[in-house]
Chains A and B, each alone.
Chain A
Amino acid sequence: GESVGLHLPTLSVQEGDNSIINCAYSNSASDYFIWYKQESGKGPQFIIDIRSNMDKRQGQRVTVLLNKTVKHLSLQIAATQPGDSAVYFCAGTGTYKYIFGTGTRLKVLA
């Protein structure tokens, strides 16, 4: 399949370690944020979302943190697995269209 994000920032983590992926957003009107995972040759896949009235939300093995003061989102993945290898994007919206951030490629080392 084709590659997504040949020149993206890359985060390499050891299998079993925790991963933290960061994202800065610029649109102050965004009130809803999503983290997406994109594997090669596939469309973005929903991981977790958070509304602007929250600063933290937890899912299964994932946590999203939102700091509205500095317009920063982070995605924490616990006990990173080989299947977590992908490109990760944050996206924000205030209406119906998403504005995607620059993705990060996560590489999980065995």
Chain B
Amino acid sequence: GAGVSQSPRYKVAKRGQDVALRCDPISGHVSLFWYQQALGQGPEFLTYFQNEAQLDKSGLPSDRFFAERPEGSVSTLKIQRTQQEDSAVYLCASSPRQGAYGYTFGSGTRLTVV
């Protein structure tokens, strides 16, 4: 597609439920990033993939958060045993090169934990 596609757009989860958020990057983009955006805040870095390799996961808030990109294309962010503090918009971005240049963000998935 023309842009970064994320699904679902909205997700409501009961506390304790597991969720999976999907990101379809722009075709051919090498780098893929996940960010978390709390209400009223700027996005915060979660993790970075270069092709299928997860090079940095330092921003993942806890071991309940897990991300994968097994074939170097589609990525999934999984959150286990969701908590209310996990409520946020989860943004995916991709870039045609290594590094920070040429990011394109998706529209995000808004997760609400009730």
Interface residues of A (CB under 8 A from B): 2-8, 32, 34, 36, 41-46, 89, 91, 93, 95-103
| Stretch of B11-19, B76-84, B93-101 that contacts chain A | B93-101
B43 & A100 in contact (Cβ 8 Å cutoff): yes
**7 nearest CB pairs, A to B:** A100-B42, A43-B105, A97-B45, A93-B100, A96-B100, A7-B40, A96-B99
Q: Nearest Cβ in chain A — how far from B93, in angstroms?
A: 8
B40 & A5 in contact (Cβ 8 Å cutoff): yes
Residues of chain A contacted by B39 (CB below 8 angstroms): 3-6
Q: How far is the CA of A103 from the CA of B41 in the complex (A)?
A: 7
**Residues 55 to 98 of chain B near chain A (Cβ within 8 Å):** 56, 59, 89, 91, 93, 98
Residues of chain A contacted by B91 (CB below 8 angstroms): 43-44
B110 CB-CB contact with A under 8 Å: yes
B48 & A96 in contact (Cβ 8 Å cutoff): yes
Q: How far is the CA of A103 from the CA of B43 in the complex (A)?
A: 10
Known: A36-B105, A42-B108, A44-B105. 15 other contacts (CB 8 A): A4-B89, A5-B39, A5-B40, A6-B40, A43-B105, A43-B106, A43-B108, A44-B43, A46-B104, A95-B100, A98-B45, A98-B100, A98-B103, A99-B45, A100-B43
Q: How far is the CA of A45 from the CA of B106 in the complex (A)?
A: 9
Q: When the two chains form the complex, which single residue of B43, B104, B106, B110 contacts A98, counting CB atoms closer than 8 Å?
A: B43
**Residues 1 to 44 of chain B near chain A (Cβ within 8 Å):** 4, 31, 33, 35, 37, 39-44
A95 & B99 in contact (Cβ 8 Å cutoff): yes
Contact A91-B42, Cβ < 8 Å, known A41-B107, A96-B99: yes
Q: How far is the CA of A6 from the CA of B40 in the complex (A)?
A: 5
Residues of chain B contacted by A91 (CB below 8 angstroms): 42
Q: How far is the CA of A40 from the CA of B99 in the complex (A)?
A: 27
Of A4, A96, A99, A100, most buried by chain B (CB within 10 Å of CB) is A96
Q: Nearest Cβ in chain A — how far from B65, in angstroms?
A: 16
**Chain A minimum-CB-distance residue to B110:** A2
A97 & B100 in contact (Cβ 8 Å cutoff): yes
Residues of chain B contacted by A7 (CB below 8 angstroms): 40
